[in-house]
Amino acid sequence: MPNSYSIPTLSRRMLLRTGSAVLAGFDLAPLARPLRAAASSAKPRGTADACIFVFLGGGLSHVDSFDLKEGPWTPQDFDIREVAPGLKLPVALFPKLSRESQRYAIVRSMEAWETEHGRATYYLHTVHPPSPARFAEIPSMGAVAAYEFRERRKNSDILPPFISLNYGPDQVRQGFLEPRFAPLSLQTSRGFDFVVPESERARFERRVGHLEHLEALSGRGWEQERLIQSFRSDSLAMMNAAEISTILKIPEDDRKRYGAGGFGDACLLARNIITAERGTRFVAINHGGWDFHTDIYNKKQKSNQYTKSLDLDAGLFALMSDLQAAGRLDRTLIVVLGEFGRTTGQLTVGKGRDHHRFAMSGLFLGGGVKGGQIIGETTALGERVAKPGWSRNRSIYPEDTAATIYSALGIDWTKKVTNTPSGRFFQYVEPLSGTSVFEPAEIRELFG
């Protein structure tokens, strides 16, 4: 997949560098004009103030998790039990989620359009087919959500509206939208060097003052310069906030409860960010490593179906429990989804499962979702959707998932932006996929 931009990972060095590089604003010229967005008659439900999107990079095997299919291939130590009427789960893989099935909904009638990782990942995050002509122009769902909430920003909102956790350099960003809607990309393994220690605060403020003085001498007032100054102002507000170090703190006791790993750390930070209520509306968490073409059940491998599932179980359970205790789960939609499913039945010659687009599963909870339900059904081996289980009576595609997320956030998913840099209109969720034309819709059954 093309890599047109790097992620704006914020550091003090970067903050000072951008201020002195006004000419770099040349790339922002197409963003200087205001966008024209036209709405339709869609009626979003607005049951959530924020969304946490958990991306299972590599593709979760649905038949080894939330659409379990038993056969000669199934390991004996999966400890399969019926944890609720009609719901069997491998309890050894999901010991905590297995006993809390009434708190989330499982959708089993999903399909993907793509089976190549880069294209499928791009599609899932943008809800648009990858096109070389528009690749850099299309924004991600998180950026669209940030843009839609722009008028609801308060002076006390010191966090960016869109934050991503543990994504790589090929993450889809803000496209044609302004840079302030791009994700602030945080890597839990690297620390956060934009948090200024008290011992360095006076020096840092002195350097910022020197930078502002130098820029005042230019006196140009370009629109591109305004965008850069706006970015710096927002960044400084976050860096100077007294509570930023607390929001980004990972206490050791909490870390163990969340799984003591990268995914758990990301979920813990997502909890802190959402419960702080300081302006973030979309948090994307990348939980990669599910691409088990070989040795999917091999416990001798450092990463396998057991280890990844237990990571997901611990992090997601702690996240939903803490948000519930803080009174924030009802207004926070959590979506857990990979880019596609995996091949079914007997394992491949490499003792793994390959890419499969015709059936996959997703988890939805919080944000008005009615837990304890299963939507859709696949065939006996799980290779195809047998019963869609929702009003459109067809498989559920990424477009429908996006419409559901937007609707829960109170966003009209049919909205069009007509003055993009390329001159082509951009529809938040368009009815044209890579292979078909259909009418996307929210999965209203999720909300009871």
pLDDT tens digits along 70-127: 999 999 999 999 999 999 999 999 999 999 999 999 999 999 999 999 999 999 999 9
pLDDT tens-digit readout, 121-134? 999 999 999 988 88
- CA nearest 445: which of 385, 371, 382, 384? 371
Percentage of the chain beyond pLDDT 90 is 71
The domain ranges of the chain are: 30-185+236-447
Q: Which CATH code is given to the segment(s) 30-185+236-447?
A: 3.40.720.10
- Residue 261: left (phi > 0), alpha (psi -120 to 50), or beta? beta
Helix (H) or strand (E) holding 372: none
pLDDT in tens, the chain (448 residues): 434 333 445 555 554 444 444 333 334 444 445 676 666 678 999 999 999 999 999 999 999 999 999 999 999 999 999 999 999 999 999 999 999 999 999 999 999 999 999 999 999 999 999 988 888 899 999 999 999 999 999 989 999 999 999 999 889 999 999 989 999 999 998 877 666 666 666 676 677 666 666 666 665 556 666 666 666 667 776 777 778 888 999 999 999 999 999 999 999 999 999 999 999 999 999 999 999 999 999 999 999 999 999 999 999 999 999 999 999 999 999 999 999 999 999 999 999 999 999 999 999 999 999 999 999 999 999 999 999 999 999 999 999 999 999 999 999 999 999 888 888 899 999 887 767 788 999 999 999 8
Write the DSSP assignment of 423-447 as a string of letters: SS-EESS-SB-SS-B------GGGG
What is the pTM (predicted TM-score) of this model? 0.88
The Cα–Cα gap between 173 and 176 comes to 9
